Amino acid sequence: MGVNLNEISTEQRNLETTNIDLLSTIEILKKMNQEDYKIAHAVELALPQIAKLVDKVVKAFYQDGRLIYMGAGTSGRIGILDAVECPPTFGVSFEMVQCLMAGGEKAFIKAVEGAEDSKELAISDLQRIKISKKDIVVGIAASGRTPYVIGGIEYAKKQGCITSCIVTAANSQLAALVDLPIEAITGEEVIAGSTRLKSGTAQKMICNMISTASMIKMGKVYENYMIDVQATNQKLIARAEGMVSQITGISLEEAREKMAIYKTAKKTIFAILSGIEDLETVNEYLDKTKGHIRNALRMVKKDVETY
């Protein structure tokens, strides 16, 4: 049975851009920019839905669960972009946040014919990563009807996973299927059906929010510094030393010396703020709180008061 595109809001014609092919370059850009203004409002309306998912993701992370995006085409690429940035930014494993894309990694560059229409492929992908009820599966699909994503969500639900979605079309099959739908209704695209535009931008914004807010609540951010950044090159080493200096008030030279002892920005910051010099004790407090500095500092204060 064919797909009825007339029922999908993201496939409708945008009456504001019907003459876009006749416009000058600056006029085309203005039209696109005017439509882009609508995206943030659509995401704003979905904030309560996003917040519910973030709280579930944090709970899952503390129980060693994973956040797993699933998508095809543009939606899959957006999920991958968010997932692959989490390890270098927040110092987490590549398994903690990941994205399964219809057709696999090679489909990131070039579409794999028929992959997005296969529910069976989604099931085998989830089986390959050994999905469990600890995990949260988020289907990303502008239309909310992609078979690969639908199949993945159906299988995940059977395994006891919490399920969610990011859709930009109203009244979608996917939103009706999941436990925690996120619906940012962005309306008609500048070019009819080109969901890499407004829909894709909204999806990226929402993925940013899900992963970033979750990591903040996990203690991967102190104040507004990414204290678990992986210092793997000169720029990132300088960034780590700079945040140690800024947060603790010591000089850059002192920060460099302290980091030589404690190795990471987080351990260095905790050691200085807590007054604990012994590396083993620093590790013990951070291990007890799963790396959450503020919780570890509270624990130190409580221990001192009790003593």
3-class SS at 231?
coil
The active-site residue out of 116, 188, 189, 241 is: 116
Sign of the dihedral through C-alpha 198, 201, 206, 209? negative
Structure tokens at 194: 């080109």
Whats the size of the chain, residue-wise? Answer: 307
Closest CA to 228 of 216, 236, 220: 220
Q: What is the DSSP string of 272-296?
A: HHHT---HHHHHHHHHHTTT-HHHH
The active-site residue out of 16, 35, 44, 85 is: 85
Q: Where are the alpha helices (DSSP H) in the chain?
A: 25-45, 47-62, 73-90, 119-128, 147-158, 173-177, 198-217, 234-248, 252-262, 265-274, 279-288, 293-306
- Respond yes or no: is residue 116 known to be catalytic: yes
Q: What is the DSSP string of 117-130?
A: G-HHHHHHHHHHTT
- Respond yes or no: is residue 85 known to be catalytic: yes
3-class SS at 232?
coil
CA 249 to CA 68: how far, in whole Å? 39
Q: Which residues contact 44 (CB under 8 A, 6 or more apart)?
A: none
Catalytic residues: 85, 116
